[in-house]
Amino acid sequence: MSDPIATAAERIRRARHLTVLTGAGVSAASGVPTFRGPDGLWRSFRAEDLATPGAFRRDPRLVWEWYDWRRQRIAACEPNAAHDVLARWSQRFPDLTLVTQNVDGLHERAGTTRILRLHGSIWHVRCARPCSDGQTRRDDRVPLPEIPPPCICGEPLRPGVVWFGEMLPLDVVKQAGEATARCDVFVAIGTSALVYPAAGFIHEARAAGATVIEINPETTGASDAVDLAVRQPAERALPELDRLLQ
């Protein structure tokens, strides 16, 4: 039987248009907790209390305490070998689109420049109302000096992430859809493929005729739809793929 990683390398080598979708598993080796699975955030915290617009309306302070804690944790993490390889590939492949569900900013810190962030950024804030100042802006302060952080209008600011029940940024979804439709190889890395519409891109890529590769030590909601599964952690599989591409 052929080695999936060697076959994956061969397909990636021949790709003219490559689209990569990443999820929390890519940052696991950096020390950023995933959401699902044995040590996932949703084992200890309820999404309904922390990651919905209703939760924020009910208790912005509680929601912000959780995000401030996560921001502090992420600030202490470094990109890992998986982020580094993807940053190199973003230079090497002229038509690589990196679509991420991650809000941690580690792809950016590794040096990937063209990133479509489906679920926003934990390092961005915007007015919860929104007011006349309704822009999303960067705020790197850890810990935040005041919780909830106030907008200039007096309302609380909110994290610049996409919560359950919220629309994803339309321009980002449009660009991700276009990259999915035009790619000949689509690689899904470190995502449980349970959250939509992000997981839908994997199925759309398959339907559009791309070779779909999954890199994940576990099976996922999309495993039945992929052509090739590399059942290894991303920080091991990606350097090996990169070595085979040299």
DSSP H or E segment with residue 109: helix 106-110
Specify burial of residue 117 (Cβ count, 10 A radius: 0-12, 13-18, 19+). Answer: buried
Min dist CB 179 to ligand BJW, Å, is: 18
CB nearer ligand BJW, residue 17 or residue 124: 124
CB nearer ligand BJW, residue 17 or residue 158: 158
Return residues touching ligand BJW (CB under 6 A).
23-25, 28-29, 34-37, 40, 51, 101, 103, 119, 161-168, 190-192, 194-197, 216-218, 220, 233-235
Min dist CB 207 to ligand BJW, Å, is: 16
Give the DSSP letter string of 22-74. E-THHHHTTT---SSSTT-HHHHS-HHHHSSHHHHHH-HHHHHHHHHHHHHHH
List the structure tokens of 135. Answer: 């822009």
Closest CA to 215 of 9, 1, 2: 9
In the bound state, the residue with its beta carbon closest to ligand BJW is: 25
CB nearer ligand BJW, residue 17 or residue 159: 159
Min dist CB 152 to ligand BJW, Å, is: 24
Please say if 119 is a catalytic residue. Answer: yes
CB nearer ligand BJW, residue 151 or residue 159: 159
Min dist CB 199 to ligand BJW, Å, is: 7
- From the list 17, 83, 107, 119, the catalytic residue is 119
Q: Give the orientation angle of helix 4-14 with respect to helix 234-245, to 10 degrees.
A: 60
Residues involved in catalysis:
119
